Structure 1
Amino acid sequence: MRKAEELMLAGLLQDIGMLALLEVLGEDYARLVERAEDNAALLAAEREWLDCDHAAVGGWLARQWNLPALLREAVIESESPASDTTFNACVAVSGHVADIWLAGADEAHAEEAHRSAALQAATRLGLDYAAFLALTEDMIAALPEVCAMFDVPPAPPARIQAILEQARELLVVRNLREIQEAARARKEADEHEDRARRLAEEVRRDPLTGAYNRSQLEEVLEKEFDAATRHGWPLSIAFIDLDDFKQVNDRWGHLVGDDVLRNFAKALMRHVRSSDFVARYGGEEFLVVLPGINEEAAAHVVRRILSEVAGVAMAHVNGQPLHITFSAGLATQGALEQFRHVDDLLRAADEALYGAKRQGRNRVSVGTISA
């Protein structure tokens, strides 16, 4: 109870310096107060004119009157940007709350007073807006008792209702803004995550064909080879080389050659499973990783792709379709073949590829450990 009485007394005294300045400076100070748009402007004008403000004057008066240190410090800190104690913070916030009641019928002024008081309550006391609204409602409920205690007439009911409604409206607006800001923050985070994911994917891809690049291939192939060896399931790879691709570049130019590579890569990726892996190994060479596929099934898959790709134009030159074929070398880590290292598996597929080319191209050859 004593603390509440001390808070009330400090709240009443916090602007005592303004009365002292008005008494000493008269009309000059009255005009200064009238010209100030808000409390911050008044403090700035006081400091420019007097090299101090009304809070400092009030603190000096409190010392002259030998008021307790608790009250003196509360008056001095009432206009400080921060407070050392909760007691002083409550006194400072009370001045901003009082501005709500002094705002009158000017809606813009009243709304700004509400915002300022709520901001001070949040900054100095850690109260969110819902708690500040509850505080406003408690103050309104206590008005009859306080007015009777000081023998002053209460504010008109319409004014009290207007203050309460405005406080509630600001809470709704604030909640809506927080919801919108949260949604915007979530959207920005999602966009950032999506952008980061796209950039990471671009780093893994060959820029011309969209197939995975060599470095990503090495990482995936090492992982799949280790898994197949450890768990005993098959892993097949197919080394693919476009037949006579140099002639395409020499005859039609590199732009046509690039079209062929792009369209071939798309066709290749279209004809494999989502769990399979297509990479550009270099130049016109591609490598397909087929996890869980044995040698027989892998040969069937690659021969089907060879047949279907041969019927699709990979580019058009002077309006005429350009078709290509490819040679492929297969190697499988499985029950029949157990390669010691992933490089041995690659070497077997590479040797099978050159075997297919020696046999006349446009075919699939299977490599072994002894190959």
Structure 2
Amino acid sequence: MKHQADIRNFCIIAHIDHGKSTLADRMLELTDTVQKQKMQQQLLDQMDLERERGITIKLQPVSMYWHGYELNLIDTPGHVDFSYEVARSLAAAEGAILVADATQGIEAQTLANVYLAIEAELEIIPVVNKIDLPAAQPDAVAGELANLLGGSAEDVLRISAKTGEGVDQVLNGLITHVPAPTGHDDTSLRGLIFDSIYDEYRGVILYVRIIDGVLTSGSGVVLLGSGKHSEATEIGAFYPQPVAVDALYTGQIGYVVTRYKSVRQAQVGDTLTTAAAPATEALPGYKTVKPFVFAGFYPASGEQYQQLKDALERLQLNDAALQFSPENSKILGFGFRIGFLGLL
């Protein structure tokens, strides 16, 4: 069990292609979480599309250890379509590393996410990345960050995530500036669900931040928002691969394997508690994710209608934002109106 005062939960805020995943890679390497010979680029980006296009879509948490402290990173999406995923990550952290490209400065989407972090009262550590590039202007970009956050340009860290220069200063800054999580082990469990995935063999796996209490493996659990009951058949942490543990304590981040059959049964932002001694008050900010982009999809032939429906239902198991309803066109025939979180 890690002492609560020695835990730091943080996320990384950056625009697409400003080096967020590369910084996460260097952190994993520097903290010996992943051995250097086993490192691969964008290690926390697990999906094929993420590696193909160099963007982060699905959150991949990881726990690291640095100078006796447990550092829990929630890697956040930098693409404009995933601001909701950024917001859920911020709710599980006390601090944020704000990364800006030394050749491009602060982007509009970065500003939007910074305002979310400020609203969530996170401690923000400003970082200028890619100082190794010939076109880099680290002092100018540091000035932009200082003006944005109201600090001094001298306090802005200057790093190269690619070469590893200055990354140790970022890790030290997390320990120094980000506060330890609050909460109490000796009270009813309240865990914030900040993401979930569906495994066809194990059911829904929740990614949780323990706000209060202790969660032990085998406990009966209930979601305060939906009232759905289940069992924590396995709990664990990310190193960065999932590793089963006996318990998760206040302030820690981990996963919970449940018997839920769809991620729609366990919505992001809901509060996880124990069935035996449930919490009486849910965590604030629970929202149902809603799609923003809609399109009509029609199979090439009527025989493929059921196949398309089956495929959408399987996709919906892993994406709570996806919504679809039957639609009929005089020209195109039977199809579906599908709602997505955004374009990609």
Give yes or no for TM over 0.5.
no
Query: Could you say which TM-score interval applies, normalised by the shorter chain?
Result: under 0.3
Say which structure, 1 or 2, has more relative contact order (CA 8 Å, 6+ apart). Answer: 2
What TM-score, normalized to structure 1?
0.21
**TM-score, normalised via structure 2 length:** 0.22
Structure in which a larger fraction of residues adopt helix: 1
